[in-house]
């Protein structure tokens, strides 16, 4: 594909209601706008698997040049990804995986490592016995399975660490409040809660506060978004003990998609780095991310200035042509 050739990217996003996904989309849009020949269409699957399948079908029948997908759940999205591949459309899977490796490439952080990082925080504080509650993300979505796997890989080796219970969430805090209330009322304050994302972690803190236990339980989340409602701020506010950074990979996804279309060799697994954000580095992380956001904002305004100039040039050029004709 040469630079001038038009490139159409179709992205099926699992849903749009949370800031993590909005930030992913934003990073993709900024990155895509750097290439005038790239058109990025983002469809929101609204957390509805059937809708996501229908969107992917549409991308296939539209013969987009490449599909990017963040599957709501692995299993139901696997066959349609295969269908796209069989139709000759490359597929880049982001954040959540399908059930097999029949896609062109994957980009996202290592969710097993995310779970292990959370476990390591707990292990490094174990003296006597410790009790832990795990709050899982949506069953059947790969980050939930992998975060849990990594978490258990480490904690199950420590007999002093006891699981007081596991709660099945769906990534949103509303899904966990009742069962957590019921569990904590039975167990009393536990030492740690690991929630698979910061939204549920915040919900867990609110529930602990309702029960007067918030000072006793250390809560670990995942995502570490910047901004007033993000995980980094929650760590700074002392709501969370720590959060494990889970980068969205929006900009990387577009870069990798374009490499695939340029027939460059791309690794099947493009793993983004993750790290622990706690009281010791929350400030530094916040500063770093704010700088990146500032630069992103600058790029966005420069791009729209260039577009305005182009429009002005074309309209002046057209006026000139009309004058010459007459
Ligand atoms: C956003 C989200 C994140 C989580 C990710 C897992 O929709 O729920 O909070 O880390 O999805 O795929």
Q: Which of 211-215, 239-243, 297-301 has the lowest mean pLDDT?
A: 297-301
Q: What is the pLDDT of residue 201?
A: 98
- Residue 235 near residue 243, CB atoms below 8 Å: yes
- Residue 116 near residue 154, CB atoms below 8 Å: yes
| CB-defined site of ligand 1, < 6 Å | 18, 20-21, 95-96, 137, 141, 143, 171, 197, 199, 222-223, 246
For a substitution probing ligand 1, which of 16, 19, 20, 24 has the most ligand atoms within 8 Å of its CB?
Answer: 20
Confidence of residue 326 (pLDDT cuts 50, 70, 90): confident
- Distance in Å, CA 309 to ligand 1 centroid: 39
Q: Among candidates 220, 232, 195, 204, which has minimal Cα distance to 23?
A: 232
Q: What is the pLDDT of residue 2?
A: 46
Q: What is the pTM of this model?
A: 0.91
pLDDT digits (tens, 9 = 90+) for 156-194: 999 999 999 999 999 999 999 999 999 999 999 999 999
- Distance in Å, CA 298 to ligand 1 centroid: 27
Q: Among candidates 237, 200, 238, 218, which has minimal Cα distance to 118?
A: 218
For a substitution probing ligand 1, which of 171, 175, 272 has the most ligand atoms within 8 Å of its CB?
Answer: 171
Round the average pLDDT of the chain to a whole number and report it.
Answer: 95
- Distance in Å, CA 272 to ligand 1 centroid: 15
User: DSSP string spanning 182-215?
Assistant: HHHHHH---SEEEESSHHHHHHHHHHHHHTT-TT
CA-nearest residue, atom 8 of ligand 1? 171
Give 25-31's long-range contacts (Cβ < 8 A, gap of 24+). 25/250, 26/250, 26/296, 27/248, 27/250, 27/251, 27/296, 28/68, 28/250, 28/251, 28/253, 28/254, 30/251, 30/296, 30/299, 30/300, 30/303, 31/250, 31/251, 31/254, 31/255
Q: What is the pLDDT of residue 161?
A: 96
- Distance in Å, CA 20 to ligand 1 centroid: 7
Which H or E element spans position 94?
Answer: strand 91-94
- Distance in Å, CA 137 to ligand 1 centroid: 8
In angstroms, the first-to-last Cα distance of the chain is 41
pLDDT digits (tens, 9 = 90+) for 50-84: 999 999 999 999 999 999 999 999 999 999 999 99
Looking only at the bridges linking them, the beta strands covering 242-245 and 276-278 are: antiparallel
For residue 308, the tally of other CB atoms under 10 A from its CB is 10
Q: What is the pLDDT of residue 317?
A: 84
């Amino acid at each position: 594909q040469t630079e001038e050739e038009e490139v159409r990217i179709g992205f099926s996003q699992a849903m749009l209601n949370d800031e993590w996904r909005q930030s992913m989309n934003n990073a993709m849009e900024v990155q895509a706008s750097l290439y005038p020949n790239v058109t990025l269409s983002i469809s929101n699957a609204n957390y509805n698997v059937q809708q996501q399948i229908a969107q992917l079908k549409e991308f296939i029948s539209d013969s987009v040049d490449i599909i990017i997908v963040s599957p709501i759940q692995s299993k139901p999205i696997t066959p349609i990804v295969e269908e796209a591949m069989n139709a000759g459309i490359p597929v880049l899977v982001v954040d959540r995986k399908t059930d097999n490796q029949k896609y062109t490439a994957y980009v996202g952080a290592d969710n097993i490592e995310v779970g292990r990082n959370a476990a390591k925080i707990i292990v490094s504080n174990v003296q006597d016995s410790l009790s832990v509650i795990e709050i899982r993300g949506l069953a059947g979505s790969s980050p939930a399975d992998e975060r849990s796997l990594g978490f258990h890989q480490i904690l199950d080796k420590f007999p002093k660490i006891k699981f007081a219970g596991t709660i099945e969430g769906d990534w949103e805090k509303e899904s966990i409040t009742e069962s957590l209330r019921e569990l904590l009322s039975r167990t009393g304050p536990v030492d740690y809660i690991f929630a698979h994302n910061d939204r549920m972690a915040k919900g867990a803190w609110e529930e602990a506060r309702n029960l007067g236990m918030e000072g006793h339980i250390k809560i670990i989340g995942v995502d570490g978004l910047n901004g007033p409602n993000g995980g980094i701020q929650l760590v700074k506010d002392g709501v969370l003990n720590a959060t494990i950074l889970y980068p969205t990979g929006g900009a990387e996804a577009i870069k990798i998609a374009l490499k695939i279309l340029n027939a460059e060799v791309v690794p099947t697994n493009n793993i983004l780095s993750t790290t622990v954000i706690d009281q010791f580095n929350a400030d530094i992380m916040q500063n770093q991310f704010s700088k990146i956001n500032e630069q992103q904002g600058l790029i966005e305004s420069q791009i729209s200035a260039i577009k305005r100039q182009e429009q002005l040039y074309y309209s002046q050029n057209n006026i000139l042509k009309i004058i010459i004709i007459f």
